[in-house]
């Protein structure tokens, strides 16, 4: 990203924010229905593999009353503490003008406490959470679809050889339809998932009716007995138990689409009860049929209904995968806006919903990696080992950020922070540590993806910062330039120079005068600033400054969830001559990066940054500049 074309991030005063921009509107019941389809797809499909992994996974438990009741108890109280209390009751209140997610939380904290030591550490935590999310986004479609299609094995063992090919075909089809957008398909998500939650609740209820004694497993004493009986094995089992809360982070990340109340309503009155009943039902099934541990979710259904259940579960996993893919697109957009990633081509797939976007590069990268995961791991059990680390790592980082928020922003007393947030961090930390024991069984994959993503994100952010500093250090003060260029020949119309600097002369302006020996009648220096809020009020969009002699500076303020369109916004600015785009020329400076033996970054990181810079989307496309009105001038920069 060049310094002339880069959007700059900064803290925004509260009056820049638009608390209603881009948020879903509608009835509470309708939004709750939509949330059931999008937000809870991931956690809703956890019953497909969570209980199975406990008893036949990498650290299998004996299928007896102690371990069944202990597992059911741990799952229930994990759903209660981690999802209901931590996310629904507490974290959903930490909204950044209605938006949620790791980057939104990071921006919220930074705006409140500023930079300094805390600021740098929080940025690193936010980047780490984002990096782990990309690993999660790769594993979720693979493990969800594969676990659903594996249900065919419970119908007929002859179907086993078809599981991987069918899973790959479904996944390829899923990624191929992304460019069409999810507006139309999304209308079906809610009803399908409501039906799915109803079915899994009925299946669980039937088993509970036959063996009501399983309800006693909700008593926390069973978890204590389970741990006391064999602490080491119980610790290892937690790595599989935690799979029941996979997707909890989606509640926070998708808050901007539906709002806190609809998500809370859908969870408390539909999703949570259905999940608890289903897990109790799986436990009841295992009490009288230990052999069903091979796939307790499907064995709860009668033989005649098992194939329809496979179809329904597959549809649910496709919806869950769709949600995490869409979430990955949103995270990429936010990271680009906040200066953590190079520009990528982004397509808006809906004229009505600003949040519905398609990122081709991310889509095809995910597709290739997901297919390789299915081929490489071959079974959902192997993928589940990799799944837990990404999920628990992200949850632990969220808890750390929540602690900072509670102390520094909400002004909680320290004892309360230690008790509440410390409790969450202890739970998340134990789950994360348990999953680390599965490092060589597949847990290495999300960590590898996280390290790669973290390296790319930090390299881009650091390299971009260094490049801007180098160019600003060599820039000429604008007022000095205006005086020295007063005798230059003037030509009609308007020239717009994109610059990330708040002062100084853009290199494109210097090169234009040097090579063409002219200045335009009006010269507009435009800076795009990405604020620490999701949306910016329209009346606060543009601020202007008149330097005289035909020179103006225009700063356009955008939220990190908004699409940037420079010509449209300049057309609304008065007294600058930018209303007629056909009489306006847009000047960009394209930098060629030269590595240098100077303090800054390691040579390999400089070369990596240079490669990312060359492959970034052009500033012309990113800022929606008219192709026939753009002039690019090159320069070289050492960092």
Binned at pLDDT 50, 70 and 90, residue 388 comes out as confident
> Does 350 score more than 70 pLDDT?
no
Question: So what's the pLDDT on residue 382?
Answer: 81
Question: So what's the pLDDT on residue 428?
Answer: 92
Binned at pLDDT 50, 70 and 90, residue 8 comes out as very low
How is residue 110 written in tokens? Answer: 């930074």
> Does 329 score more than 90 pLDDT?
no
Q: By mean pLDDT, which of 88-92, 100-104, 124-128, 491-495 is the weakest?
A: 100-104
> Does 202 score more than 90 pLDDT?
yes
Strands in 345-391 per DSSP E: 347-348, 357-358
Residues contacting residue 396 through CB under 8 Å, at least 6 positions apart: 425, 428, 429, 432
Question: So what's the pLDDT on residue 518?
Answer: 86
Question: So what's the pLDDT on residue 310?
Answer: 92
Question: So what's the pLDDT on residue 19?
Answer: 47
Question: So what's the pLDDT on residue 504?
Answer: 79
Q: By mean pLDDT, which of 80-94, 177-191, 269-283, 589-603 is the weakest?
A: 177-191
> Does 7 score more than 60 pLDDT?
no
In order of 32, 101, 282, 455, the CA distances from 339 in angstroms are: 33, 17, 47, 14
Question: Residue 98, by phi and psi: left (phi above 0), alpha (psi -120 to 50) or beta?
Answer: left
Residues contacting residue 291 through CB under 8 Å, at least 6 positions apart: none
Q: Rounded to whole angstroms, how far apart are CA atoms 388 and 140? A: 11
Q: How many Å separate Cα 543 from the centre of its chain?
A: 31
- pLDDT tens across 172-200, in order? 998 988 877 655 555 667 788 899 999 99
Q: Rounded to whole angstroms, how far apart are CA atoms 19 and 518? A: 45
Mean pLDDT to the nearest integer, 567-580: 81
Binned at pLDDT 50, 70 and 90, residue 13 comes out as very low
- Judge residue 44's burial from the number of C-beta atoms within 10 Å of its C-beta, 0-12 exposed, 13-18 middle, 19 or more buried: buried
Helices (H), 242-359: 248-253, 255-258, 260-266, 272-288, 296-299, 303-337
Residues contacting residue 461 through CB under 8 Å, at least 6 positions apart: 123, 127, 339, 340
Q: Nearest to residue 145, comparing CAs of 178, 111, 121, 171?
A: 171
**The CATH fold of domain 33-461:** Amino acid/polyamine transporter I (1.20.1740)
- pLDDT tens across 59-116, in order? 889 999 999 999 999 999 999 999 999 999 998 888 777 777 777 787 778 777 765 5
Question: So what's the pLDDT on residue 228?
Answer: 94
Q: Structure pTM? A: 0.80
In order of 471, 494, 527, 531, 592, the CA distances from 544 in angstroms are: 23, 16, 10, 17, 30
Q: What are the residue ranges of CATH 1.20.1740.10 in the chain?
A: 33-461
- pLDDT tens across 213-261, in order? 999 999 999 999 999 998 999 999 998 999 999 888 878 877 776 778 8
> Does 416 score more than 80 pLDDT?
yes
- pLDDT tens across 299-314, in order? 999 988 999 999 999 9
- pLDDT tens across 497-556, in order? 988 877 778 888 888 888 888 888 889 999 998 887 778 888 889 988 888 888 989 999
Strand pairing class (551-558; 518-531): parallel
Question: So what's the pLDDT on residue 432?
Answer: 92
């Amino acid at each position: 990203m060049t310094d002339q074309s880069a959007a700059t991030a900064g803290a925004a005063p509260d009056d820049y924010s638009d608390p209603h921009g881009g948020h879903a509107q509608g009835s509470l019941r309708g939004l709750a229905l939509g949330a059931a389809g999008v937000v809870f797809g991931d956690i809703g499909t956890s019953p497909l593999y969570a209980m199975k992994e406990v008893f036949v996974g990498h650290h299998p438990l004996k299928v007896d009353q102690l371990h069944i009741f202990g597992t059911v108890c741990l799952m229930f109280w994990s759903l209660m503490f981690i999802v209901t209390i931590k996310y629904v009751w507490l974290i959903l209140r930490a909204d950044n003008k209605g938006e949620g997610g790791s980057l939104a939380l990071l921006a919220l904290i930074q705006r409140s406490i500023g930079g300094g030591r805390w600021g740098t550490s929080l940025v690193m935590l936010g980047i780490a959470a984002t990096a782990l999310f990309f690993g999660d986004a790769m594993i979720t479609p693979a493990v969800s679809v594969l676990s659903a299609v594996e249900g065919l094995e419970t119908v007929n063992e002859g179907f086993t050889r078809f599981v991987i090919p069918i899973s790959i075909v479904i996944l390829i089809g899923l990624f191929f339809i992304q460019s069409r957008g999810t507006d139309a398909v999304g209308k079906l998500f809610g009803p399908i998932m409501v039906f799915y939650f109803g079915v899994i609740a009925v299946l669980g209820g039937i088993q509970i009716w036959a063996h009501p004694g399983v309800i006693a497993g909700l008593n926390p004493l069973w978890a204590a007995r389970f741990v006391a009986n064999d602490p080491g094995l119980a610790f290892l089992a937690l790595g599989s138990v935690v799979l029941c809360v996979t997707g909890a982070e989606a509640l926070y990340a998708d808050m901007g689409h539906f709002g806190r109340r609809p998500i809370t309503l859908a969870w408390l009155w539909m999703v949570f009860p259905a999940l608890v009943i289903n897990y109790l039902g799986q436990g009841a099934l295992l009490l009288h049929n230990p052999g069903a541990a091979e796939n307790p979710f499907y064995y709860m259904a009668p033989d005649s209904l098992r194939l329809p259940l496979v179809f329904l579960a597959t549809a649910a996993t496709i919806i869950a995968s769709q949600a995490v893919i869409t979430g990955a697109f949103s995270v990429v957009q936010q990271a680009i806006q906040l200066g953590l990633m190079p520009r990528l081509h982004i397509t808006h797939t809906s004229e009505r919903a600003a949040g519905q976007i398609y990122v081709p590069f991310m889509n095809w990268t995910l597709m290739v990696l997901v297919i390789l995961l299915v081929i490489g791991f071959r079974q959902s059990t192997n993928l589940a080992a990799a799944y837990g680390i990404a999920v628990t790592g992200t949850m632990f980082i969220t808890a750390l950020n929540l602690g900072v928020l509670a102390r520094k922003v909400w002004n909680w007393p320290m004892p309360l922070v230690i008790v509440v947030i410390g409790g969450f961090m202890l739970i998340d930390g134990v789950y994360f540590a348990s999953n680390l024991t599965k490092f060589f069984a597949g847990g290495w994959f999300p960590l590898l993806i996280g390290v790669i993503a973290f390296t790319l994100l930090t390299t881009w952010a650091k390299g971009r910062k260094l490049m801007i500093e180098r160019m600003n250090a060599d820039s000429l003060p604008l007022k000095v330039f205006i005086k020295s260029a007063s005798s230059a020949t003037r030509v009609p119309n308007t020239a717009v120079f994109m610059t990330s600097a708040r002062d100084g002369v853009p290199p494109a302006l210097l090169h234009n005068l040097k090579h063409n020996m002219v200045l335009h009648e009006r010269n507009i220096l435009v800076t795009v600033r990405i604020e620490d809020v999701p949306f910016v009020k329209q009346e606060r969009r543009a601020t202007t400054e008149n330097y005289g002699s035909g020179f103006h500076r225009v700063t356009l303020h955008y939220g990190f969830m908004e699409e940037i369109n420079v010509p449209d916004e300049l057309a609304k600015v008065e007294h600058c001559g930018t209303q007629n785009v056909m009489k306006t020329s847009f000047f960009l400076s394209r930098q060629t990066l030269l590595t240098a033996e100077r303090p800054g970054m390691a040579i390999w990181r400089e070369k990596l940054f240079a490669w990312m810079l060359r492959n970034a989307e052009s500033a012309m496309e990113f800022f929606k500049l008219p192709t026939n009105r753009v002039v690019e001038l090159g320069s070289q920069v050492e960092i």
